[in-house]
């Protein structure tokens, strides 16, 4: 399992007139945590793009449990539970302190600059094999 934590503070522009975060604003927070997780593993998005890779979103979902409010400091936890190869599934949890506000997941695939599916960089495959030594190949993610 690979996990990362990112903090965000709810901006006024992310809320409605009641000071409650609009649901569409959770997806950028997922992205903040996802890019931090990849960066911490040695694969910043900018470098992947420079190397000719794209990682488009194939699927995304969110479940809202309790609203986030203006000026809340939130912790977004991103987790990869299974060894990714061609596809990556990342799970998210958003907390205000100890209180769970939302959960979600996203699925991504490696593509070339023309949008065609491709194998990830060899360094990525090696790192994932190191992080998930007991898991074989990806199964239907």
Domains and CATH numbers, the chain: 2-131 (3.10.129.10)
CA–CA distance from 129 to each of 27, 84, 135 (Å)?
28, 9, 8
List per-residue pLDDT tens for the chain, 141 residues long. 999 999 999 999 999 999 999 999 999 999 999 999 999 999 999 999 999 999 999 999 999 999 999 999 999 999 999 999 889 999 999 999 999 999 999 999 999 999 999 999 999 999 999 999 876 554 444
Alpha-carbon span 39 to 1, nearest angstrom: 16
Q: Is 16 a catalytic residue?
A: yes
Supply the pTM of this predicted model: 0.91
- CA 79 from centroid of its chain's CA atoms: 8
């Amino acid at each position: 399992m690979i996990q990362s934590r990112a903090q965000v503070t709810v901006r006024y522009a992310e809320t409605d007139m009641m000071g409650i975060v609009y649901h569409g604003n959770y997806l950028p927070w997922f992205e903040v945590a996802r890019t931090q997780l990849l960066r911490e593993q040695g694969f910043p998005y900018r470098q992947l793009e420079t190397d000719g890779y794209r990682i488009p979103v194939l699927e995304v979902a969110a479940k809202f449990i309790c609203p986030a409010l203006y000026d809340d400091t939130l912790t977004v936890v991103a987790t990869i539970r299974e060894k990714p190869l061609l596809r990556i599934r990342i799970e998210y949890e958003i907390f205000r302190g100890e209180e769970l506000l939302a959960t979600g997941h996203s699925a991504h695939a490696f593509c070339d600059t023309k949008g065609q599916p491709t194998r990830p960089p060899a360094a990525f495959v090696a790192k994932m094999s190191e992080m998930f030594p007991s898991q074989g190949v990806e199964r239907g993610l």
